[in-house]
Amino acid sequence: MENIMFPNSIDSHLSQLEKINPVAFKAIEPRIARESFDCLAKLSRNEFTPEGRGSDYLDSIQLSLLARSEGVMDLLGKMHPNGRDGLCSSLIFCDLLAGDGYVNKVAHQLLGEARCPSFINSDVSKFMVDRCIRDGLFATWQGATDPFWIKDGSVDGVLMAYGTHHIPRAGRATAVRAAARILRPGGIFVLHDFEEGSPTARWFADVVSTHSVTPHDYPHFTAGEVLDLFAAAPFDDVTVQRISDPFVFHGGDEESALQLLAEYVVKMYGLEKLRSRTQRVLALLDEYFGVVVARNAHGECEARIARNALVGSGRRV
């Protein structure tokens, strides 16, 4: 198998990471446990591969980087006591479910280089981590339950978002404790998922599982579960709340905005069986979320679906 991440050796990859971002590299444990990669090779064969919906997912990001930016920026604001105003490049944030570095890319585009935190993009999918590396991002191949690349108490913020339900229930407490391990005292952990029984959770169960190239049978979170997970780890100032996390698209007219929305959703979720059925996709989106089309302040036509996410946050004691 082609090894993009380690074309020569782990040592050469470490050298490459230090050049990409010396600030983030301060958090990296240089004595990497080689045996950890044996387990990762098995875990990495998940749905986010070229054989699953990984390529379609990447195509959706190419179609619109900022479609989910409202929710992303809300999450980033929760990772600093002063909100978004406190964000800067000297902060080290670890995104433990980074995929292709989506949150990092949104932050860099909207905050700029000086205010974008230094991200460690981590994911269990080697396909996604390879894409991060190709795009020049600081990235490590590791699972959320065992971020072995990262030193104890070395990062300012940890994020688990946009896929946290993929962590099996039996491993979720381990993942939260792992987040606490790598956080410095006073650092903030933010956990995001779509609530069990919510329209988004039902969308995954009813639509994605039926029409996607890969099944999607993962239990989502409840507010009580999130509170229990934080209570069992060294966190205080714990809050659990619901935030707006919509999909938003712009076009010159209603038809073009809706076409973008439908195309994005098909690619995002790998809805192969609905690929050429734009009106059916839009009807399903309206049924589960409600599709709203309006002119914005710039005169553009905006198509939006409302998603509400469950977000827990806590400060490392």
Would you tell me which CATH number, out of the four given (3.40.50.150, 3.90.1720.10, 3.40.50.1220, 1.10.3470.10), belongs to the domain 10-49+66-197+217-244+310-316?
Answer: 3.40.50.150
Mean pLDDT of the chain: 92
CA 148-152-156 angle, 5° bins: 105
Question: Residue 139's pLDDT band (boundaries 50, 70, 90)?
Answer: very high
Q: What is the pLDDT of residue 213?
A: 82
Question: Residue 2's pLDDT band (boundaries 50, 70, 90)?
Answer: very low
> How many whole angstroms from its chain centre is CA 70?
14
pLDDT (mean) for 198-207: 97
Residue-wise pLDDT for 232-281, tens only, equals: 999 999 999 999 999 999 999 999 999 999 999 999 999 999 999 999 99
Question: Is pLDDT of 302 > 90?
Answer: yes
295 strand-pairing partners: 301
Please tell me the number of Cα atoms within 13 Å of 110 on its side-chain side.
21
Element (H, E) at 44: none
How many angstroms separate the CA atoms of 37 and 58, rounded? 24
Quickly list DSSP for 115-129. Answer: TS-EEEEEES-HHHH
**22-36, 102-116, 176-190: segment of lowest average pLDDT:** 22-36
Q: Whose CA is closest to 198, among 292, 70, 75, 289? A: 289
Q: What is the pLDDT of residue 89?
A: 97
More confident of the two residues 4 and 77: 77
CA 38-43-46 angle, 5° bins: 145
pTM (2 d.p.): 0.93
How many angstroms separate the CA atoms of 145 and 172, rounded? 7
Q: What is the pLDDT of residue 217?
A: 87
Domain ranges of the chain: 10-49+66-197+217-244+310-316
Q: What is the pLDDT of residue 215?
A: 80
The C-alpha torsion from 45 through 247 and 173 to 226, rounded to 10°, is: -160
Q: What is the pLDDT of residue 10?
A: 77
